Structure 1
Amino acid sequence: MVKVRKAVIPAAGYGTRFLPATKAMAKEMLPIVDKPTIQFIVEEAIASGIEDILIVTGKSKRPIEDHFDANIELEEHLRQQGKQELLDLIKETTNLNLFFVRQSYPKGLGDAVLQAKAFVGNEPFVVMLGDDVMTGEVPLTKQLIDVYNDTHASNLAVMEIPHEETSKYGIVDPEREIRDGVYNVNKFVEKPNPEDAPSNLAIIGRYLLTPEIFEILENQEPGAGNEVQLTDAIDTLNQTQRVFATRFDGKRYDIGNKLGFLEMSVEYGLEHPQIGDDLRQYIIDLGKKLEAEDQTSVKANAKVVSETEELAE
């Protein structure tokens, strides 16, 4: 069995949900406190035993490459200033086996993954989407690798979501649960309407795929949104070889939307050694202030209702 040692991180999207911030800046470089979002994904890959990482970039994504490159002038400045802790911190992002390729046209996630064909070769590999950050005792990517080591088959991460939100996700139609949290799958459906969704198990941005997916992607017709959908290609792959779904029960942050981004920023900030205590106190004080404002608003509304009733009499 070939060891899973390569990961592909698609990072070529426009980031339109974060405009205007992403007009001239890669959304993957937006910071959670002091760490770019894409660094969380790279760290998960490394913690899962991945050795080589390909980041698929696009227009205005050069800052991603710069972030993971050495900055000799900055390193020398920190060294002269005696700021060894900061020097060690920035050097953590440079000693990695990172590779980059550009997706020239935004044709969809499936097309972005296809750009990794030469990098992957004839090996199983992981696809990690940057909009989802997962936390848990065992990294989610490592969980997928463990399932692959047992089954020798593709598998992808799923999570239960509210049924009314199925149109936002790829959804699996599970046949049966072959062991705790691992499902045989009848089919994979890209963003079905709630009334058509076969389940509420949504694909959440981590895939472990065999290299046969590339031949399918090369011939894949555009699907939802007139884009080459990875979910459609996986459904085709599932017709010739098993593709399992692995349920994730940990914490997921959907940082592709503003609220999820802020939620992770706050919770990560609470654990940050430099600002955690101050942020906690700020949140407590802010909560008291908001509660007082709500009580004042309730009293004001009650007064208006009372005066309206008196006038009506």
Structure 2
Amino acid sequence: MSKRVRKAIIPAAGLGTRFLPATKSQPKEMLPIVDKPTLQYIIEEAIQSGIEEILIVTGRSKKSIEDHFDRSVELELELEQKGKTEMLEMVQDISKMADIYYIRQKEPRGLGHAISCARSFIGNEPFAVLLGDDIVDSETPCLRQLMDAYEEYKTSILGVQKVAKEDTNKYGILDVKHIEGRVYKVRDMVEKPDIDKSPSNIAILGRYIIMPKIFDILENQAPGKGGEIQLTDALKTLATQEAIYAYDFKGKRYDVGDKLGFLQATVDFALKRDDLKDEFEEFLKKKGAELIDKDKSLALVK
């Protein structure tokens, strides 16, 4: 009988250089989309999918992550004294979200190395990986969709979507055989291929369920693209030893590790908020009208 997926790894050891200077002293995972850190969206997805234990792989200057998901007695006391019950409950709920553990990746040696740091935490179980650069807005949590596929196929499942051909050099790209519906069998994969050498436009997008055999492979994995231990390279080896499937998940995915993607997520999530959407929508309409007028003025000048 196959084991169910109970544990998840969230790698959060990156330096976040694309968001400097904001990330000089705070982790990129703590940058807020509206008023909630990006990492909290990821953890909420994991919990809503049925994950019981979470390991966050951190690096230097990441203490604020631990502080955020821990209790803040002073803040709770102040909110209680001021009668701010709703805020108090929100703050308390964060610290009760799940069993969260931490381990430090002592040197930035790539995603594959970050995953290998979690070996003792995972043991001999299938596990989930959620990357903090990808937020998925979906009716059924993205990871839950993969877990449902795992329960059907009992093997590693990669979360994928199709990307524009010109963007294939940004992702791990798959060579696949279509099986049924949204399911593919993985034949091969390559990390950030040259656009003209990409085997498809089906990209791995930040969600994985992986069998524990990957740890033996990662232990002997040579550095790949960028001189780092690449998870995609290890998965490529795993695919030669056991079946790996890909699931084309439903939902809108935001690359919040990119400034434009981060802004798009902020706008869309703000428009979903009952306390913000009316005024914010009005602001966007005015801004849109101003841009149209500006374009007309420029056209007249030309």
| TM-score interval (norm. to shorter) | over 0.9
The 5 A counterparts of 1:59-98 are 59-95=60-96, 96-98=98-100
Deviations 1:28-78, CA, capped at 9 Å, x for gaps = 000001000000000000000000000000011110000000000000000
- Structure 2: distance between partners of 1:72 and 1:250: 37
The equivalences for 1:34-73 within 5 A come to 34-73=35-74
**2 CA distance for matches of 1:151 and 1:159?**
19
Question: Which residue number corresponds to residue 104 of structure 1?
Answer: 106
Q: What code does the residue aligned with 2:234 have? A: A
The RMSD of aligned alpha carbons is 0.7
Gaps of 5+ in 1: 302-313
Q: Which amino acid aligns with 1:150?
A: E
Structure 2: stretches of 5+ with no match in the other structure = none
SS in 2 for 1:100: strand
Letter in 2 for 1:205: G
- Structure 2 counterpart SS, 1:195: helix
1:286-306 CA-partner distances (Å, limit 9, x unpaired)? 1111111111111011xxxxx
Q: Quick check: 1:219 aligned with 2:220?
A: yes
Q: How does 1:131-210 map to 2 (within 5 A)?
A: 131-174=133-176, 176-210=177-211
- TM-score (normalizing by structure 2): 0.98
Work out which of the two has the higher radius of gyration on C-alpha atoms and give 1 or 2: 1
Is the contact made by 2:142 and 2:250 (CA closer than 8 Å) also made in structure 1? no
Partners of 2:196 and 2:263 in 1: CA distance: 31
Match of 2:122 in 1: 120
Q: What SS does the aligned partner of 1:239 have? A: coil
1:274 matched to 2:275? The reply is yes
**After TM superposition, where is structure 1 displaced by more than 2 Å over at least 4 residues in a row?**
none
For the 8 Å contact 2:185–2:246, the answer to whether it is kept is yes
What do residues 59-100 of structure 1 show as CA deviations (whole Å, max 9, x unaligned)? 111100000000000000000000000001111110120000
8 Å CA contact 2:55–2:101 kept in 1: the answer is: yes
Work out the CA distance in 1 between the residues paired with 2:124 and 2:30: 31
Separation in structure 1 between the aligned mates of residue 291 and residue 166 of structure 2, nearest angstrom: 30
Q: 1:59 corresponds to which letter in structure 2?
A: R
C-alpha distance in structure 2 between counterparts of 1:284 and 1:194, whole Å: 37
1:307 alignment partner in structure 2:
none
CA–CA separation in structure 2 for the residues paired with 1:106 and 1:189:
21
Q: Distance in 1 between matches of 2:11 and 2:232?
A: 15
3-state DSSP of counterpart to 2:193: coil
Counterpart of 1:13, as a letter, is G
Instruction: Tell me how far 1:249 sits from its aligned partner.
Output: 3.5
> How far 1:273 sits from its partner (Å)?
2.4
Question: In structure 1, what is the Cα distance between the partners aligned to 2:115 and 2:297?
Answer: 54
Instruction: Provide the secondary structure at the position in 1 that maps to 2:95.
Output: coil
Aligned to 1:242: 243
